[in-house]
A = this chain, B = another copy of it.
């Protein structure tokens, strides 16, 4: 049994830089036709110069593949000239409330101060991508942030706003309330709950931000993904950390899913009799929402068992060492 996907897209991806970029970029670039690349490097991508530097680095690391990196700019108060110059090179600006996730220090503290930049973005047609968490109790952060999404969606009705890596039933419900509000959802949030992280032994390789939530939240996310809700896109948030940063006394947030995404999505959609919706979830919805035209690429999966490696370099992947029923067998351009 085979399954073909046309130009799958990962609309939320961490590629890092340096040696880690070299290690992980190929794993996404071989399976996907394009990906939205996050700008939260240790020194964020927050200027035209940084954008040129990082664009070249990603280009070099993925040059063996048919792959379009959709770059993002770390949200700051930019002037119109800067945004106009950046526009052809980026898919959007990524907004982080200060300090809520990996390398988000220096993000936005006061949401009132961001309005001039949003006005320019709305005029130029540059989407806003948001890590939407408050600074509250870890399980409440996303839900507490939803009123901010609602306020922004009302105040900037022509601005495309993407709620990144949503994890709650409440966020899914909000999707239908504002026409300019969209979302990405990760593979791991479709598969795990807080029980998988902390219900038995504590599993640092499943620790991520936003933290995995309750079973009913996962059910709402799954339901929306499996029916390919047209405002929901796949975005892995695949976030590699070296083993020493995961199995340690202060474990960094991030699940490294890049190598296993398409096999696990195939299994999930097959299990729920939803394979016909996978193409829309993993590509077509994003094309419609962002208006992107990814390079032509056909990925073929076969229902043939595949043992996930225990690690890639010093990075432990999601489902490390486990055997999956599907695997990618050919990656060809049309």
The chain A residues found within 8 Å of chain B, CB to CB, are 137-139, 193-195, 197-205, 207, 211, 214-215, 246-253, 316
B248 adjacent to A137 (CB under 8 Å): no
| 8 other A-B residue contacts (CB within 8 Å) besides A137-B199, A138-B195, A202-B251 | A137-B214, A138-B198, A139-B214, A201-B250, A201-B253, A204-B249, A247-B247, A247-B249
Complex CA distance for A252 and B248, rounded to whole angstroms? 13
Which secondary structure dominates chain A's binding surface?
loop
Contact of A194 among B137, B199, B207 (CB under 8 A): B137
B202 adjacent to A253 (CB under 8 Å): yes
B195 adjacent to A211 (CB under 8 Å): no
B138 adjacent to A205 (CB under 8 Å): no
Q: Quick one: closest B residue to A135, CB to CB?
A: B199
**Nearest CB of chain B from residue A283's CB, rounded to whole Å:** 33
Residues of chain B with a CB closer than 8 A to A249's CB:
203-205, 246-247, 316
Complex CA distance for A215 and B138, rounded to whole angstroms? 10
Complex CA distance for A193 and B139, rounded to whole angstroms? 11
A203 adjacent to B250 (CB under 8 Å): yes
B198 adjacent to A211 (CB under 8 Å): yes
**Nearest CB of chain B from residue A134's CB, rounded to whole Å:** 12
Complex CA distance for A248 and B201, rounded to whole angstroms? 10
Known: A137-B195, A193-B137, A247-B248. A207 touches B214 (CB 8 A): no
Would you mind naming 15 contact pairs between A and B with Cβ atoms under 8 Å apart? Answer: A137-B194, A137-B214, A137-B215, A138-B194, A138-B195, A138-B198, A139-B139, A198-B211, A201-B252, A202-B207, A203-B250, A204-B251, A205-B249, A247-B247, A247-B248
**Nearest CB of chain B from residue A140's CB, rounded to whole Å:** 9
Q: Quick one: closest B residue to A246, CB to CB?
A: B249
List 4 tightest A-B contacts by C-beta distance, closest first: A202-B251, A201-B250, A138-B199, A202-B207
Residues of chain B with a CB closer than 8 A to A205's CB:
249
Residues of chain B with a CB closer than 8 A to A250's CB:
200-203
**Nearest CB of chain B from residue A101's CB, rounded to whole Å:** 10
Complex CA distance for A137 and B214, rounded to whole angstroms? 8
Residues of chain B with a CB closer than 8 A to A193's CB:
137
**Nearest CB of chain B from residue A319's CB, rounded to whole Å:** 13
Contact of A251 among B138, B201, B252 (CB under 8 A): B201
Complex CA distance for A131 and B200, rounded to whole angstroms? 15
Residues of chain B with a CB closer than 8 A to A203's CB:
249-251
**Nearest CB of chain B from residue A204's CB, rounded to whole Å:** 6
Residues of chain B with a CB closer than 8 A to A137's CB:
193-195, 199, 214-215
Residues of chain B with a CB closer than 8 A to A211's CB:
198
**Nearest CB of chain B from residue A135's CB, rounded to whole Å:** 9
Complex CA distance for A137 and B198, rounded to whole angstroms? 10
Complex CA distance for A202 and B246, rounded to whole angstroms? 9
Complex CA distance for A138 and B201, rounded to whole angstroms? 11
Complex CA distance for A215 and B201, rounded to whole angstroms? 23
Residues of chain B with a CB closer than 8 A to A198's CB:
138, 197-198, 207, 211
